[in-house]
């Protein structure tokens, strides 16, 4: 049987500041292929081009990637302001119903940064437009200068609940992570369980309570150096195993797929 297919949520971008493209970071594809052991498939997140139902049939799991545009505040009942930054309404139109469908079906997804926020919004939660403006919060944004190694360097610890899934997965009460985000969770959505926090109590890890499938999502970027960083490797390997289990279950339900 071929590798499980993981749909990587793409982002709208401009090549050479003029040519519209659907883009995905190479580190996302590498983490999916080399660490999760799955076939990476870049998804053009535009409802004029793809539909949620067909994505669910084609893919065995989804990587909800980070991205510079933020979830539009109208999706969680707030008016947009300059602090909310740029938006990608086409991505919102695909990812938010996709998350809800995956939760219902038990189809696995891994949320990363914006993807972490999308999971919360999809389940009815809200977001702060700018974490660093809140009293007592640190600046979680990407450093403006430096190499990629410096920008994605480990910058703070994330602590987990003692009996939660992240503590069980990592075998540690806390791990060191990078941090490259401006927004963050304000209120948790229905069934959203916050399972990890930064030192300033910013939510950093979550899962969907009672979901039959893999729903672990993180505010940091584990795709960076995923093969070498122990926590990142464990997270992507667990996600890959979940996608493989979904593929096997689909094959068992449709015997003609077993020889595909």
| Catalytic annotation, residues | 113, 221, 223
User: How far apart are alpha carbons 144 and 4 in whole angstroms?
Assistant: 37
Q: Is the Cβ–Cβ distance between 91 and 9 less than 8 Å?
A: yes
Residues whose CB is less than 8 angstroms from the CB of residue 234 and which lie 6 or more positions away in sequence, other chains included: 169, 170
Distance CA 179, CA 66 (A): 12
Residue 127 contacts residue 76 (beta carbons within 8 Å): yes
Residue 170: C-alpha distances to residues 47, 113, 159, 164, 234 (Å): 36, 19, 11, 10, 7
108 phi and psi angles, rounded to 5 deg: -75, 145
The CA distances from residue 260 to 1, 4, 108, 246, in Å, are 6, 12, 21, 15
The β-bridge relationship of strands 203-208 and 192-197 is antiparallel
Length of the chain: 260
């Amino acid at each position: 049987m071929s590798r499980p297919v993981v749909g990587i949520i793409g982002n709208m971008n401009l090549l050479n500041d003029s040519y519209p493209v659907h883009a995905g970071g190479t580190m996302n594809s590498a983490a999916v292929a080399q660490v999760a052991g799955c076939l990476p498939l870049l998804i053009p997140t535009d409802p004029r081009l793809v539909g949620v139902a067909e994505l669910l049939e084609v893919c065995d799991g989804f990587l909800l990637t980070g991205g510079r545009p933020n979830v539009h505040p109208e999706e969680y009942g707030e008016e947009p302001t300059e602090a909310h930054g740029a938006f990608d309404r086409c991505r919102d139109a695909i990812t938010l119903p996709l998350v809800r469908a995956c939760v219902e079906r038990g189809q696995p997804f891994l949320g990363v940064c914006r993807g972490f926020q999308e999971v919360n919004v999809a389940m009815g939660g809200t977001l702060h437009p700018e974490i660093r403006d809140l009293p007592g919060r640190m600046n979680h944004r990407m450093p403006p200068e430096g190499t990629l190694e410096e920008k994605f360097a480990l910058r703070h610890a994330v602590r987990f609940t003692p009996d939660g899934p992240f503590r069980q997965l990592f075998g540690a009460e806390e791990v060191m992570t990078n941090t490259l985000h401006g927004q963050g969770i304000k209120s948790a959505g229905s069934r959203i369980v916050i399972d990890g926090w930064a030192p300033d109590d910013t939510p950093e890890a979550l899962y969907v309570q009672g979901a039959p499938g893999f729903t672990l999502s993180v505010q940091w970027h584990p795709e960076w150096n995923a093969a070498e960083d122990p926590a990142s490797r464990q997270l992507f390997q667990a996600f890959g195993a979940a996608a493989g289990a979904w593929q096997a279950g689909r094959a068992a339900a449709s015997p003609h797929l077993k020889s595909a």
